Each structure stands twice: as structure tokens, then as C-alpha cells.
């Protein structure tokens, strides 16, 4: 029978020693490595290629839900058994939904851990007995009102769902790490949660919390036809804020919507059918040209202007092929350029046949 290779991940050496001793009681199983944080785990996974990962998700530099999803995507055959001191429902449901194969509580008997490993390796799902009782006998949750978040809180929550740590959030939002920590505290209070994992689980259960608010009193289908609607798609919150000010000065009455990624942009476009979309060519690991193509398929009348810090001719060619009407260099996007783009859009609304020629 082939030997099963196991990797242990816990930030406490004494806990790893306990796990290792417990697993020594199982035949045909070998511990091939130990790590104490998320960075070490990412570095060792590709080289060791274990069959089973036994992990405490409350490690430094490790965002549980997004990291588990990424590990499962890169190593689909890897079995993951979480061994945790947390019995919180959000942790259990969130991590099982992300793809872990088992969730075991640290305070359970040693024999139960060995059984958990055997069940997971056999292809079964394992949940510690006390958690099963809690999940089976829990009362249905009362309907919960989704809080109205500020623009900054929505952006912060969106970055959390993408797996950003505080340092990367600070870079993306052009804030200090301390300020990010303060904003996280306010966000948790607004959502009624206590941790990053609970916040991302909340966003998964209530995706409407990330949506831009509608104009008061008007559903999306009833937006006034004489009000210009603009969708700004850029993954840099600070740049979006600058562009929002420019657009607001040029056309104070316009309805401005923002998105930092393609999925959010398409969701907004489906609701409001914007007259104008300004889309950055590079969106983190996504493609603004692909966004343009998908948005035009969803809302053919939307005028798309691609913007980029990279005045690449191939990007320009692909952008026009995808349906963009213009390709502008970010450094040239001043008040005069924004005014011209808006005037061109308003002109196309007044003379739609001419705009299509």
C-alpha cells in the first residue's frame, strides 16, 4: 500500500508536535513537512506535493476562505482537514463551502483525529460530533437586514473577499495599515461580525451588500432618460475617486457607478445599462478588453472608452475590435478630455443613428 504524505500547518510548534505524534499511530502515513504561516505553506506546497494537508486556518498571513479556494484550484487532488479551536458556525460553513474535506475540533479525543484522517483520505467528509449536533439542531436564522455600507466600506469588503491582507488593502486604497485596521473595525461593526472570515461569509450569503445603491425612489429600469449614467471600472480606488471628482465637476447631474472587477461591472451594467463606461485595460489579474466585450454583449448601446497607463498599439487594436469607441492614455485624462468624452456621449444620445454610422 503506498505511503500517504501529510503536511502539517499550524503556527504553534507544540501543536504541530501533538498532531505529528497523533498521526504516528496510523500506518502507511508519513509527515513530510511542517509550516507555521501562510507564506511558508504557499512556498512548500508545490515542492512537497502532499496527499493530505492538516491545517489550523488561524495562521498568520493566511486568509482562510480565499486561500483554501486557491489551494484547491491548484492542487485538486489534495485532501484538506482543518483542525481548529473555533467552533463558530461561520468558520465551519465558510470553509466547507470553500472546499475543505473535514473540520475537526482540537478539544476532541486523539482517536477522533485519527478517525477524521482516515475518513478524509477515504474520500468522505468529516465534521466533529459537537459541530454536527450544532448544525443539525440550529434554529433557522431570522431574516437579516442587509446594512447600507459606505463606498469605502464596500470597497474594503470587496478586497476582503478577494483575499487581500491588510498590507495589500493599504496599498490598493492608498491608506496606512493602521487606518485599514480602523476601517475594518467599523466594517465589522456595520455587518455585525467579528472577523475577516465572518465578513467574507456574510458577503457570500448577501452579495447585495456589495452593490452600488440605486437612485432613491427609482428602480433601475426607471432611471430618468435625461440623466447621463456612467460606469467607471478601475481596480484602483484612489484613481476612481479622482475620476469621480472630474466627472462630477463636468456633469454634476450624472449618475456614477463604480466597479473594481469584471463581475461587479457586469452586475451594475445589467441593472442600469449605462450610457458611458470608462474601463481600465488592466484590472489586477483581469482583462479590461474582455470586460468591454462582455459588457457590449450585455448592453450594446453603452459607449465604452478604454483607459490605460500603457499606450500599447495591440491593446488599442484589440479594444476597438471588442467594441470600444476610444482608447485614452490615463495621463491625458484631464478635465478637458473628460468633458469631451461626456459631450460625445451626450451627442450620441441625441443622434443615435449618427453615432452608429
Chosen CATH of 4-137 out of 3.40.190.10, 3.40.50.2300, 3.20.20.140, 3.20.10.10? 3.40.50.2300
CA distance 327 to 306: 5
* The Cα angle at residue 281 between residues 242 and 284, in degrees rounded to 5: 80
Distance (Å, whole) CA 201 – CA 193 = 10
The pLDDT score that the predictor gives to residue 153 is 86
Strands in 4-9's sheet, in edge-to-edge order, are: 29-35, 4-9, 52-55, 79-84, 102-105, 126-127
Would you state the pLDDT for residue 100? 92
Sign of CA dihedral 109, 115, 120, 123: negative
The cell 501529510 sits on which residue? 6
C-alpha span between 355 and 357 (Å, rounded): 6
State pLDDT tens for residues 165-201. Answer: 888 888 877 788 888 888 888 898 888 888 887 888 7
Q: Which CATH superfamily is domain 220-356 in?
A: Response regulator (3.40.50.2300)
Bridge partners of residue 35, in order along the sequence: 9
- The C-alpha cell of 188 is what? 465589522
- DSSP-assigned letters across all residues of 166-186: HHHHHHHHT--HHHHHHHHHH
User: What gap in Å lies between CA 249 and CA 219, rounded to an integer?
Assistant: 25
Question: What is the distance between the alpha carbons of residues 217 and 118, in angstroms, rounded to a whole number?
Answer: 57
Which residues are within 8 A (CB) of 311 and not within 5 positions of it... i.e. 6 or more apart?
329
Domain boundaries, the chain: 4-137, 151-210, 220-356
pLDDT given at position 85: 81
Sign of CA pseudo-dihedral 342, 345, 351, 355: positive
Q: Do the domains spanning 151-210 and 220-356 agree at the CATH topology level?
A: no
DSSP 281: S
Q: What is the pLDDT of residue 103?
A: 92
Dist. CA 344–CA 269, nearest whole Å: 20
**Cα-only R_g, the chain:** 25
d(CA 325, CA 306): 8
* Alpha-carbon distance values, 162 to 69, 196, 268 (Å): 11, 11, 18
Whether the Cβ atoms of residue 250 and residue 339 lie closer than 8 Å to each other: yes
Residue that is written with C-alpha cell 496510523 in the block: 26
> How far, in Å, CA of 145 to CA of 143, rounded?
7
**Closest C-alpha among 263, 317, 325 to residue 300:** 325
> Quick check: 308 and 330 in contact, CB under 8 A?
yes
CATH no., domain 151-210: 1.10.10.10
**What is the DSSP-derived secondary structure letter of residue 216?**
T
The kind and range of the H/E element at 230 are strand 229-233
- Please report the pLDDT score of residue 213 as a whole number: 61
Residues of the chain with pLDDT under 50: 139-143, 215-224, 353-357
d(CA 233, CA 342): 16
Beta bridge partners of 306: 279, 327
Which cell goes with 345?
Answer: 456621449
User: Which pLDDT belongs to residue 323?
Assistant: 92
Task: Give the contacts of 334 (CB within 8 A, at least 6 positions apart).
Answer: 246
User: What is the spatial distance between Cα 184 and Cα 132, in angstroms, rounded to a whole number?
Assistant: 31
Amino acid at each position: 500500500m503506498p505511503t500517504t504524505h501529510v503536511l502539517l500547518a499550524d503556527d504553534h510548534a507544540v501543536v504541530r508536535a501533538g498532531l505529528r505524534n497523533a498521526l504516528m499511530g496510523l500506518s502507511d502515513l508519513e509527515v513530510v513537512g511542517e509550516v507555521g504561516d501562510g507564506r511558508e505553506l504557499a512556498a512548500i506546497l508545490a515542492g512537497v506535493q502532499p496527499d493530505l494537508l492538516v491545517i489550523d486556518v488561524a495562521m498568520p498571513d493566511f486568509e482562510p476562505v480565499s486561500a483554501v479556494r486557491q489551494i484547491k484550484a491548484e492542487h485538486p487532488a489534495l485532501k484538506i482537514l482543518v483542525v481548529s479551536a473555533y467552533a463558530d458556525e461561520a468558520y465551519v460553513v465558510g470553509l466547507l463551502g470553500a472546499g475543505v474535506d473535514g473540520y475537526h475540533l482540537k478539544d476532541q479525543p486523539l482517536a477522533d483525529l485519527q478517525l477524521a484522517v482516515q475518513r478524509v483520505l477515504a474520500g468522505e467528509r468529516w465534521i466533529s460530533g459537537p459541530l454536527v449536533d450544532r448544525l443539525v439542531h440550529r434554529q433557522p436564522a431570522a431574516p437579516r437586514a442587509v446594512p447600507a455600507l459606505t463606498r469605502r466600506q464596500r470597497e474594503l469588503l470587496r478586497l476582503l473577499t478577494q483575499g487581500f491582507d491588510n498590507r495589500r488593502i493599504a496599498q490598493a486604497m492608498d491608506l496606512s495599515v493602521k487606518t485599514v485596521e480602523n476601517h475594518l473595525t467599523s466594517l465589522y461593526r456595520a455587518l455585525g461580525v467579528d472577523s475577516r472570515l465572518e465578513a467574507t461569509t456574510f458577503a457570500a450569503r448577501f452579495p447585495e451588500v456589495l452593490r452600488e445603491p440605486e437612485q432613491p425612489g427609482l428602480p433601475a429600469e426607471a432611471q430618468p432618460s435625461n440623466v447621463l449614467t456612467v460606469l467607471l471600472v478601475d481596480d484602483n480606488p484612489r484613481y476612481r475617486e479622482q475620476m469621480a471628482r472630474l466627472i462630477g465637476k463636468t456633469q454634476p447631474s450624472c449618475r456614477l457607478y463604480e466597479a473594481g472587477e469584471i463581475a461587479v461591472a457586469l452586475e451594475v451594467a445589467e441593472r442600469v445599462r449605462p450610457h458611458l463606461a470608462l474601463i481600465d485595460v488592466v484590472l489586477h489579474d483581469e482583462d479590461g478588453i474582455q470586460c468591454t466585450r462582455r459588457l457590449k454583449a450585455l448592453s450594446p448601446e453603452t459607449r465604452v472608452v478604454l483607459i490605460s497607463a500603457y499606450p500599447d498599439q495591440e491593446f488599442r487594436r484589440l479594444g476597438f475590435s471588442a467594441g470600444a469607441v476610444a482608447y485614452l492614455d490615463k495621463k491625458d485624462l484631464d478635465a478637458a478630455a473628460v468633458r469631451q468624452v461626456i459631450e460625445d456621449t451626450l451627442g450620441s444620445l441625441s443622434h443615435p443613428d449618427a453615432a452608429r454610422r
